[in-house]
Amino acid sequence: MSGNDDLLDDEATDAPGDEWENLDVADTAVDRTARQQGREFSKFRERIKDADQFKVEGGVFDEATLRALYSLVQGGHIDALGGPISTGKEAHVFLASAGEHDVAVKIYRINASDFTQMRQYLEGDPRFDDIGGKKKKVVLAWTRKEFANLKRAGAAGVRVPDPLAVERNVLVMEFLGSDGVRARRLGEVEIENPETTYEVVREYMRRLYDAGLVHGDLSEYNIVVHDSQLWVIDLGQAVTVHHPNSREFLERDCENVANFFSRQGLDTTGDELLAYIEREAAPRED
């Protein structure tokens, strides 16, 4: 893998501050839309539930999710839903078309999401103070949190999928791949220039930190190679630097990244990466 030298020359746009986004998890107009257009929604629901490519495990397409998808179709964000790109414990990602472009549709599973796993990223985050322990509200807020985190990371000069729309537990974003095939993860490719690749990842981590974010689960499995560039994905669990566990998460990210590049032959450690990020980051006003 090569061709990332130009990344380090890109000037990040003005990074947003360390303010808290207001994550509104109140019910939207989705239910009303479905009721008002009951016949069309019923046809849509049967088409999804009868299609072989959507017969995935875990009850992904429950009634609320179908209403969210229908609203996104009505809003012009999705034209047609394709097959699954990836499946996980908390979410499935599907290919979809939107006009002449492919998009990725990430559906968080309200009933099957690992609420216990999510908890470590939610406790201490004031954006979730009023949500309590209701799984539905947590998952809806988590989805909006990923949308907000992608926006913030992109504004900070980090290549991430462009978030396009969010409705309830469904996130529509830019598809990274070609001809319906997802881009490969960093751990799935042969890296031609480990040193340059490491410099790009290190710079991305610094830019995230400057923007007040810590990824919280960064590794070779959520960095992908697309158009000969590196992109960071899966920012749902990312926390702000004021989160009580942000330092622990940053240390873990640094350890994961450094261990991967050590296996590629580079002489680096998690402590060295952490020191670089904190040393090169812009001064922060607490």
- The CA–CA distances, whole Å, from 90 to 93, 117, 245 equal 10, 10, 21
234 is catalytic: yes
What's the residue count for the chain? 286
Strands (E), the chain: 80-87, 91-98, 101-108, 163-167, 170-174, 177-178, 181-182, 184-185, 213-214, 223-226, 229-232, 239-240
Nearest to 86 by CA among 233, 256, 260: 233
The per-residue pLDDT for range 163-207, each reduced to its tens digit, is 999 999 999 999 999 998 999 999 999 999 999 999 999 999 999
Q: What pLDDT score was predicted for residue 37?
A: 60
Higher-pLDDT residue of 183, 43: 183
50 is catalytic: no
Is 257 within 8 Å of 274 (Cβ atoms)? Answer: no
Marked catalytic residue, from 162, 217, 227, 286 = 217
Confidence band, pLDDT 50/70/90 cuts, at residue 64 = confident
Marked catalytic residue, from 125, 210, 234, 253 = 234
Structure tokens given for 199: 């410099």
**Residue-wise burial string across 266-280, b where 16 or more C-beta atoms lie within 10 A, e elsewhere:** eebebeebbebbeee
Confidence band, pLDDT 50/70/90 cuts, at residue 81 = confident
Q: What pLDDT score was predicted for residue 13?
A: 43
- The CA–CA distances, whole Å, from 65 to 116, 212, 249 equal 22, 31, 31
Residues 6+ apart with CB under 8 A from 35: none
The per-residue pLDDT for range 108-149, each reduced to its tens digit, is 987 755 666 776 787 777 666 666 667 788 888 889 999 999
Residue ranges and CATH numbers for the domains of the chain are 5-17+184-280 (1.10.510.10), 30-178 (3.30.200.20)
The Cα 269–Cα 40 span in angstroms is 57
Helix (H, G, I), strand (E, B) or coil at 137: helix
Main-chain dihedrals φ then ψ at residue 266, nearest 5 degrees: -85, 150
Number of Cβ atoms within 10 Å of the Cβ of 187:
14
Nearest to 64 by CA among 172, 140, 145, 141: 140
The Cα 48–Cα 191 span in angstroms is 40
Confidence band, pLDDT 50/70/90 cuts, at residue 83 = confident
